[in-house]
Amino acid sequence: MLRINGLKKSFGEKEVLKGLDLVVPEHSIYGFCGRNGAGKTTTMKIVLGLLAADDGEVLVSGEKVHFGDTPTNRYIGYLPDVPEFYSYMNAMEYLRFCGQITGLSPKETDTRSEELLDKVGLGKEKHRIKGYSRGMKQRLGIAQALLGRPKLLICDEPTSALDPVGRKEILDILSSVKDETTVLFSTHILSDVERICTDIAFLSEGTIKLSGKKEEIREENRTSRYYVNHTGMTSEALEKMVKRFGDAVSSYDSNSKDLINEKNEASREFIFDTTKGDYTEFIYFIADHKIKVNKMELIEPSLEDIFLEVTGE
Ligand SMILES: Nc1ncnc2c1ncn2[C@@H]1O[C@H](COP(=O)(O)OP(=O)(O)OP(=O)(O)O)[C@@H](O)[C@H]1O
Ligand SMILES: [Mg+2]
């Protein structure tokens, strides 16, 4: 749906995008992640032809985007980071106005607006936009962006200013439109990405450090380390285990390296790294020493951990 090749953009001396590549598949919900100032909004504005790139190309549905001349925008619905409204209008008036300036027929605008206002939970809202909460404004903004049945919906940080309930509402709406459109949204809230995205890209220092299907990224970053929680292991058994498996056994507590405390008790939690010690032998060791394991599981890195690792922070 969207392809970006070698995109570069500087503001004065500041190189913000240094050769950004991105491929957004059709019907994906794409999480475009990066810290404040990473260049997310800049990238989106270039995709919309609102900002000139220094180098590289952008293709929307296979058509090249040109700055200032934007027929590709007929495929796109856009929700800016801080949407502005005419606050004296109500939701229906606002959508009618948007329909008018985008050339939709009044009949189609009305039908589509009613459908969309229901979808975003504003169907019964008769008040002027002036009295809307931030969450309501974001929901109206999404309805506006979807009015022309875009093939690509671009939302710039749609959840950043919202509380958990408001965020969930927006995420549910974005999930629900996946069949009719492709969603690209920027964020620095990785739990939102975790919740609804099919694909992710991490932008840092002007380039995409990692991108692809969320599940594949998870799979590739799965660790080799197990968390082990047990009861009743003596400090002697623990010492023996450390001697036998060396570096493979380490403390789970990041504040302390010691597996045996000052009272000479074995720590109830530790980590076993299967790249440093033989997993099967370890299991035999546990059985031989009749260690009661309460919990043992592969440590799954969160997207947050992966992001911090790929960005070197
Ligand atoms: N018009 C401009 N003139 C000068 N510098 C700019 C301009 N627009 C953006 N920048 C700079 O480019 C960098 C990237 O900004 P951008 O707004 O794209 O980041 P972002 O990832 O959207 O951040 P945020 O999460 O805060 O919205 C920032 O350092 C910003 O100061
Ligand atoms: Mg931004």
- The predicted-structure confidence for 118-152, as pLDDT tens digits, reads as follows 999 999 999 999 999 999 999 999 999 999 999 99
Cα–Cα distance list, 7 to 29, 52, 163, 274 (Å): 22, 11, 34, 41
Q: List the residue whose alpha carbon is closest to atom 28 of ligand 1.
A: 37
Q: Which of 8, 16, 67 maximizes ligand 1 atoms within 8 Å of its Cβ, making it the mutation to test the pocket?
A: 16
Give the mean pLDDT of 161-189: 94
Distance of CA 87 to the CA centre of its chain: 31
H or E segment to which residue 16 belongs? strand 14-24
Name the average pLDDT for the chain.
94
Q: What is the pLDDT of residues 219-259, one digit of tens each?
A: 888 888 999 999 888 889 999 999 999 999 999 887 777 88
Ligand 1 nearest-atom number relative to CA 45: 18
Q: Under DSSP, is residue 88 helix (H, G, I), strand (E, B) or coil?
A: coil
Higher-pLDDT residue of 223 and 188 is 188
What pLDDT score does 199 carry? 98
Which residue in the block uniquely carries the two structure tokens 């974005």?
Answer: 174
Q: How many residues does the chain have?
A: 313
If you average pLDDT over residues 107-119, what whole number do you get? 96
Residue 297, CA distances (Å) to 227, 230, 304, 309 in order: 5, 12, 19, 21
18-23, long-range: CB within 8 Å, 24+ apart, which pairs? 18/205, 18/206, 18/207, 19/55, 19/56, 19/206, 19/207, 20/56, 20/203, 20/206, 20/207, 20/208, 21/207, 21/208, 22/201, 22/208, 22/211, 23/211
pLDDT at 47: 98
pLDDT of 307 above 80: yes
**Ligand 1 site residues, Cβ closer than 6 angstroms:** 11, 16, 34, 36-42, 81, 188
DSSP 260: B
Ligand 1 closest atom vs CA 39: 18
Token pair in block for residue 304: 């947050």
Instruction: Output the residue whose Cα is nearest ligand 1's atom 1.
Output: 11
Most ligand 1 atoms within 8 A of CB, residue of 7, 11, 47, 159 to mutate: 11
Structure-token match 């507590």, residue found? 253
Do the beta carbons of residue 214 and residue 25 sit within 8 Å?
Answer: no
Q: Please report, for residues 45, 134, 137, 273, 289, the alpha-carbon distance to residue 163 in angstroms, rounded to integers and kept in the order given.
A: 26, 9, 13, 39, 50
Reported as half-sphere exposure (CB side, CA atoms, 13 A), residue 304 has a value of 6
* Confidence band for 87, pLDDT divided at 50, 70 and 90: very high
Judging by DSSP bridges, how do beta strands 225-231 and 269-273 pair with one another? Answer: antiparallel
Residue 12 Cα, ligand 1 centroid: separation in angstroms?
A: 12
| The predicted structure's pLDDT at residue 233 | 87
86 contacts 104 by C-beta, under 8 angstroms: no
The pLDDT assigned to 285 comes to 95
Indicate if the pLDDT at residue 177 is higher than 90: yes
Q: Which residue lies with its CA nearest to atom 7 of ligand 1? A: 11
Specify the residue for token string 């890209």: 201
Question: What is the 171 CA–ligand 2 centroid distance (Å)?
Answer: 18
Ligand 1, atom 24: nearest CA belongs to which residue? 36
